[in-house]
Amino acid sequence: MAARMAPGMWQVWLAIAVCAVVLVVDFAVYRPARGRMERALQSARAIGLSLDPSQRPIIPPAPVQEFMMANSLPESEAAGAVQSGLLTASLIEEVTRLAGENGLVVTATEPGLTAQQSSGVVVRSNIRARGTYPEFLSYLDALARGPHLLTVDRFEITSGTGSDLNVAVSITRHVVKRTKPGQARR
């Protein structure tokens, strides 16, 4: 004899079956997808991106990005460049080249102190040259317009022969250490 279900019991069994199917779909599809989404969001936050539409990322203009790339080194390379003297040599080469291009005659160059800081490297040099006042101003302008972050710490002008002046300039180059986004500075 066939067992009969009580009237209305089939709806209970259907509800139980639907719940079981939803549970299986949740464990098989939605939970892994949610885990992948959480990992993607965490990775995006780690590199400085925000996927929240209310938090728009700040993206600097291309010229600013290029300037920062020209004046920064990865943290691991910065230490090696300081120890090898590469940054000092490139600074002396750049300031000497700019002096010659602007009509100054370089009489002496001298490397200055190099300092490692938590956020960057500071490289100093001194240059002595001979030339006219307009040539010196042109040289200072070329330093300001160059691709590197340079500061003129001090300069001294003394009279020379004829219309020429003797100039001594102390120049500092600043190089920013690049770190991975989200990484704390020491």
Residue 21 has pLDDT above 60, yes or no: yes
Q: Best-predicted range by mean pLDDT among 19-33, 36-50, 123-137? A: 123-137
CB 107 within 8 A of CB 99: no
pLDDT at 186 over 50: no
What are the tokens at 82?
């300081």
Same domain, 66 and 155: yes
* CATH number where 141 lies: 3.30.70.60
pLDDT tens-digit series, residues 5-16: 677 788 888 889
In a domain, 184, yes or no: no
pLDDT of residue 78: 78
Tokens 């004829």 map to which residue? 162
Averaged over 114-119, what is the pLDDT?
Answer: 83
> What is the number of H-type helices and E-type strands within the chain?
6, 5
If asked whether residues 93 and 137 sit together in one domain, one would say: yes
The structure tokens listed for 97 are 């080249």
> Do the Cβ atoms of 105 and 160 come closer than 8 Å?
no
147 is in which domain, residue-wise?
A: 62-178
Q: Whose CA is closest to 99, among 70, 130, 144, 133?
A: 130
Phi, psi at 113, each rounded to 5°? -75, 150
pLDDT at 18 over 50: yes
In-domain check, residue 91: yes
The pLDDT confidence band at residue 180, using thresholds 50, 70 and 90, is low
State what percent of residues in the chain have pLDDT above 70: 87
pTM: 0.62
- Please check the confidence at residue 66 and state whether its pLDDT lies above 90: no
Residue 59 has pLDDT above 60, yes or no: yes
* Same domain? 83 vs 135: yes
Q: Mean pLDDT in the chain?
A: 84
Residues 77 and 126 grouped into a single domain: yes
Burial of 87 (0-12, 13-18, 19+ CB in 10 A): buried
Q: What is the pLDDT of residues 83-104, one digit of tens each?
A: 788 888 989 999 999 999 999 9
Number of folded domains in the chain?
A: 2
pLDDT of residue 48: 65
* Same domain (yes/no): 32, 109: no
pLDDT at 42 over 90: no
Q: Do residues 131 and 70 both lie within one domain? A: yes
Residues 72 and 133 both lie in one domain: yes
**Which range, of 18-32, 65-79, 88-102, averages the lowest pLDDT?**
65-79
